[in-house]
Chains A and B, each alone.
Chain A
Amino acid sequence: MSATRIHSQPKSWLWGTLTSIRLTVFLLLILAAVAVIGTVVPQNQPQNHYVSRFGEVWGQLLWLGGFTQVYFSPWFLGPISLLAANILACVVHGLPQAINRAGQRLTVETALTLPERGQITWPAGVDPQPLIEATLSRELGHCRQETLPDQKVYLREKGRFRPVGPYLIHIALLMILAGGLIGKLWGVDGQLAIDQGEVAGAFQVGPRVEKPLNFQVRLDKFQVSYYEPGGSPKEFRSDLTFMQDGREVSRATCRVNEPVTFGGLTFYQSSYGSQATGPIRLKVQLGDLSESIEAPLRQPADLPGGRGKIIPMKVDGNFQGYGPAVLLAFSPGSGHPQVFWTLKDRPGLGQQPGPYRFTVESIPFGYYSVFQVKHDPGVAWVYAGFLLFLPGLYLAFFRPAERWALVLAKTSKGKWQGRLLGASPRNREEFAARQERLLMELKRGMPS
């Protein structure tokens, strides 16, 4: 994009538009607007969510208009593809020129065309060369010297590769976008839910679509631990065994931030849960009455005394770090059911509605663990783009081009005369400061 249109060479309208910065700004604005919509309208929700939240008309419009998956809709994919084309066109348009410029070392001929910044004439008999060499190497670093028949030229050039910087940045952006596309086209992304102890040979890649693994994976054990009972979770840990044709090949532990890779697929700890493997045994007390009952999950069980029913809604293997628990719904004969957690190991904790008092005798349960399973060949492209970005930014913004030349010649009266030439179009301030210092240093020690 740092290539401006060259008007002397008439190009087609299409090419002119594609390489224009106006198109870039226009696309960035559209993309920003679409992204704003994407953060305000919740994404990937079911249709009725939008109708209930935004009303019949707006909900339908958002749904049908693709705004509920806006980053995968033409509203987003259109401008982003055009942006990619825009960036590519700018790179194709300007990169050869930039490389060409970077490849040209500062020659004496070019240096002599730089604007003059000052003149110094040393008195007769003084050889200024040691002073010049010391000053230039201190202020500018190592300088090249070229000796011509009647003059000597010191050359110094910094930031010669700066013109390439912006193109590296834009190539990096293209690589990142390409990585996204490669991942979409050739990547695999799915979910795998395994019960503890179970062996899986396939994972879900879409609603009701399974993809076979070319190996088997077994969840040996799932554990969730808390910093303290009632505190926040400390670790979700799945111990996995990978098997080939029923033979154990390797074992690995998968945690959040510690994915496991096997057979070209990477497993990320995504979520977990626990489910009942049999009826829950409860001790029910009402006054002096005390009785054990068995209640299967999500089925109403009659209570002794006939004053209502109990339904175990769900089980949790380690409820907030307090150990196994069951969510009970107590439904009295009339009125609303009341829902409450009952802990197996801490029967005293938690409120119960009464008149019954429930304690848990046993909760047969098993954990399951859910993994994000994926293979994304685009990630390498994205990371390579990130890495390329850094030298690009460095060259573009932190290495301003600066050219200096000091032309030393003998005047007819035998005195040495120096002319300081130089330019730095993008870094005038620092250039001016350096110029002042250089001239001052070069004049030092001269009788005024």
Chain B
Amino acid sequence: MISQILGGVMLIYLLAAILFLMAELWSSARLKGAGRVTLWLGLGLHTGALLGRWWESYHLALGHTPAAAWSEKLQLIIIQVPLSNFYESLIFFAWCLPGLGLLAFRRHLQGYLGAVVALLASLLLAYASFGVDSTIKPLMPALKSNWLLIHVVTAFLGYAAFALACGTAILYLFQERRPRASLPPLPQLDSLIYRTTVLGFLLLTLGIATGAVWAETAWGRYWSWDPKETWSLITWFIYAALLHARLLKGWHGRRIAWLAVLGFMAVLFTYFGVSFLLSGLHSYLT
């Protein structure tokens, strides 16, 4: 049922992307409005599906671990947040893109920028629906922790912010080569890249720190040089370099845009590459 809804959300995001593109090509305000409404609709349904899966996951766990007191129930709700395997992480990542995009870009989330975000979210959902096992499995002991929620949420919101920065950076590079009146002007794109990068950096830092605290309670080591940890640190270095280049050396525009793209490559490797190519503490993701 929830998988079907998510399949529908995938199509709605795709429709939003098409509407944004058409609005851009025919410079139609009405289509633009339709695109926004469609994106909001998709996000609403997507949120519902996430909550539904959370509810379902909680009830399955209740079957394994009966909880009577409200504090036990609350504890179970927290640890049963649907963020415990690869499928659920993809669904949440796809949710973060339009969610964070509407928050960070506000009215700029339309046109090509809106189309890029909606299309990316749609692709992630398509991959999750067709390529990944979607069954809800009971939690393994290592994941039974209150830190799961905050660690995964901050990490993926960070990934999504970097995805937005990368999408904006790509538009910047196109806009610089062949300026189009329909795209936001360069300084505005530049400022959006910077803002989303700062947001992502804050969230990635929180994700790493909460992960370290969790690892300390689970294994007695806040840092184990697990490949995912190491790659998140490499990603952090790249964005730290970007921020220093911009704030201290006054880098702007094209060079920052390329760094944002490079940083997102590292994010993608941290997320997918490490899970598929290298084994480690995070390997339950696959």
Contact = CB atoms under 8 A, between A and B. Distances in A.
A39 B248 contact: no
Interface in A370-389: 372, 374, 376, 379, 382-383, 386, 389
B209 interface: yes
Contacts of A266: 220
Contact of B223 (A180, A227, A233): A180
B69 interface: no
Interface stretch (B15-23, B50-58, B119-127, B238-246): B238-246
Interface string A24-39: 1100100110011011
Given A39-B227, A234-B138, A32 B237 contact: yes
Contacts of A24: 244
A339 interface: no
B209 A389 contact: yes
B142 A257 contact: yes
B244 A25 contact: yes
A129 interface: no
B218 interface: yes
Contact of A234 (B64, B201, B213): B64
A180 B231 CA distance: 19
A39 B230 contact: yes
Nearest to B247: A2
Interface in B101-143: 137-138, 140-142
B178 interface: no
Nearest to B279: A42
Nearest to B138: A227
B225 A38 contact: yes
Interface string B246-269: 011100000000000000000000
A232 B223 contact: no
A240 B99 CA distance: 47
Contacts of A4: 248
Nearest to B221: A372
Contacts of B64: 227, 234
A268 B209 contact: no
A21 interface: yes
A259 B217 contact: yes
Interface in A187-241: 189, 227, 231-236
A38 B230 contact: yes
A39 B231 contact: yes
A256 B216 contact: no
Nearest to A393: B202
A433 B225 CA distance: 46
A232 B137 CA distance: 9
A255 interface: yes
Contacts of A372: 219-221
Q: Interface size for chain B: under 10, 10 to 19, 20 to 34, or 35 or more residues?
A: 35 or more
B244 A32 contact: no
A315 to B, nearest CB: 22
Nearest to A374: B220
Given A24-B244, A71-B225, A236 B237 contact: no
Contact of B218 (A256, A389, A397): A256
A39 B244 contact: no
A389 B240 CA distance: 14
Contact of B145 (A189, A235, A257, A376): A257
Given A1-B244, A2-B247, A35-B230, A268 B220 contact: yes
Q: Is the interface of B mostly helix, strand, loop or mixed?
A: helix
B2 interface: no
A258 B145 CA distance: 9
B222 interface: yes
B278 A39 contact: yes
A150 interface: no
Interface size class of A (residues with CB under 8 A): 35 or more
A43 B226 CA distance: 10
A424 interface: no
Interface string B39-72: 0000000000000000000000000100000000
B27 interface: no
A291 to B, nearest CB: 42
B191 A429 contact: yes
Interface string A64-100: 0000000100000000000000000000000000000
A28 B225 CA distance: 17
A292 interface: no
B205 A31 contact: no
Contacts of B248: 1-2, 4, 21
Nearest to B191: A429
B81 interface: no
A28 B213 contact: no
A382 B240 contact: no
Contacts of B231: 35, 39
A393 B209 CA distance: 13
B233 interface: yes
A2 B247 CA distance: 8
Contacts of A256: 141-142, 144, 218
B171 to A, nearest CB: 18
A270 interface: yes
Contacts of A234: 64, 138, 141
A232 B138 contact: yes
B234 A236 contact: no
A250 to B, nearest CB: 20
Interface of A: 1-2, 4, 21, 24-25, 28, 31-32, 35-36, 38-40, 43, 71, 180, 189, 227, 231-236, 255-259, 266, 268, 270, 372, 374, 376, 379, 382-383, 386, 389, 393, 397, 429
19 contacts: A21-B248, A31-B237, A36-B234, A43-B225, A180-B223, A232-B137, A232-B138, A233-B141, A236-B141, A256-B144, A257-B141, A257-B145, A266-B220, A372-B219, A372-B221, A376-B220, A379-B222, A389-B209, A393-B201
Interface of B: 64, 137-138, 140-142, 144-145, 191, 198, 201-202, 205, 209, 212-213, 216-223, 225, 227, 230-231, 233-234, 237-238, 240-241, 244-245, 247-249, 274, 278
Given A227-B138, A379-B222, 20 more contacts: A1-B244, A21-B248, A24-B244, A25-B244, A28-B237, A28-B241, A35-B234, A39-B227, A39-B230, A39-B231, A227-B64, A236-B141, A256-B142, A257-B144, A268-B220, A374-B220, A382-B212, A386-B209, A393-B205, A429-B191
Name the 8 nearest CB pairs between A and B, nearest first.
A268-B220, A256-B141, A386-B209, A39-B227, A372-B220, A227-B138, A257-B145, A28-B237
